[in-house]
Amino acid sequence: MSKVFNWGIIGPGRIAHKFANDLGVLPNAKLHAVASRSLDKALEFANKYSAVHAYGSYREIISCPDLDAIYIATPHPWHCENTLMCLEHNIPVLCEKPMGMNAKEVRQMIGLAKFQNTFLMEALWTRFLPTTKKVLELIAEGAIGEVNTVKADFGFKATFDAKHRLFNQSLGGGSLLDVGIYPVFLACLILGKPNSISAEASIGKSNVDENCGIVLKFDNQKLALLHASIVSNTKCEARIYGDKGVIQINSRWHEPTSITWYPEEGEPQDFFFEFDSFGYKHEIIEVQNCLASNKIESEDLSFDFSIDLAEVMDNIRIQAGIFYPMYDHFTEKEIATKANNFSQN
């Protein structure tokens, strides 16, 4: 019988419920432990998903017996601290996106994973969906010729609440870090690391970006046109344009959906995929496969990719004026240099 992986969760909030559900659809994964700042909440969560251990503080989960991996599901500003705590104790980590508040944190986390020889991966689950894999396959087969442009948006209308994580600056609020990371991820996955960045944001009354528009420019004049919002329901579509056709990842493109291939000649072709979960099971399978092979990083979502992504996000923030004074480390000189010429970095 294949090994069953025992998972722990830190921060049993909204996304942790979906993740715990998806652990339950895999025959070789189960929720083993949960840690909350409230013991009552941990017990309730553990009870709902049949976990054996419940802890009323994050630190206690470190001593949990028989734990194979921990999923960090706290708001972004705690990802770094929670991840470092697990890695220091050699516990493999799957950490929610964005991996850190900035590239400095991401480098620190990955540095410790390497030093401790312990697995770490950013929970950019879209990377592992069958839709994404099919898109990469079609591109590699030349189905749309040479890709020249990626267009993607991710926006939803959230009810304003200055205390909620989405609108609260000290909880890492704003559209770019929460949903904008998905279009940026897709552009970098397909086109690599950009050479230059233009970005603008509308900063709302709670000082976070409510809308963010981004243009990335890559080698060979390739472009990405991206949009994120937490104040409007956008189409949530992604299109990849080539010189011989187009691939559309249908709405909402970042989660389980279908894709349509528009070849230069002939009829469009749809590809549908069956989904028996929220879609998180694919990243869980990737983590488990890596652990079973004693790998400390995923080849499909590597350390370098997460660092590059975080650097691109930092530079979008600098361009668009999205700052978190309590977490940022940018110097005036860095801001001026990067804002003027990202490509020299």
Ligand X SMILES: NC(=O)c1ccc[n+]([C@@H]2O[C@H](COP(=O)([O-])OP(=O)(O)OC[C@H]3O[C@@H](n4cnc5c(N)ncnc54)[C@H](OP(=O)(O)O)[C@@H]3O)[C@@H](O)[C@H]2O)c1
Q: What are the b/e assignments for 266-285, b being 16+ CB within 10 Å?
A: eeeeebeeeeebbbbbbbbb
Residue whose CB is less far from ligand X, 185 or 342: 185
Shortest Å distance, C-beta 339 to ligand X: 26
Which of residues 125 and 218 has its CB atom nearest to ligand X in the complex? Answer: 125
**In the complex, minimum distance from the CB of residue 237 to ligand X, in angstroms, rounded to a whole number:** 17
Q: Minimal distance in Å, beta carbon 345 to ligand X? A: 25
Q: Which is nearer to ligand X, 11 or 204 (CB)?
A: 11
241 vs 280, beta carbon nearer ligand X: 280
Query: Measured between alpha carbons, how far apart are the two ends of the chain, in Å?
Result: 50
Nearest to ligand X of 18, 193 (CB atom): 18
Cα 297 from Cα 290, distance rounded (Å): 7
Look at residues 175, 61, 113 and name the one whose alpha carbon lies nearest to residue 301: 113
Q: Least CB distance from residue 170 to ligand X, whole Å? A: 8
In whole angstroms, the minimum distance from the beta carbon of 16 to ligand X comes to 6
Quote the CA–CA distance of 113 and 142 in Å, as a whole number.
37
Binding residues for ligand X (CB under 6 A): 11-16, 36-38, 41, 73-76, 78, 96-97, 123, 125, 165, 171, 178
Nearest CB to ligand X, comparing residues 11 and 194: 11
> Is the dihedral angle over the CA atoms 89, 95, 99, 101 positive or is it negative?
negative
Instruction: Give me the residue whose beta carbon is nearest to ligand X.
Output: 13
Nearest approach in angstroms of CB 337 to ligand X is 29
Let me know: does 140 contact 242? Beta carbons within 8 Å: no
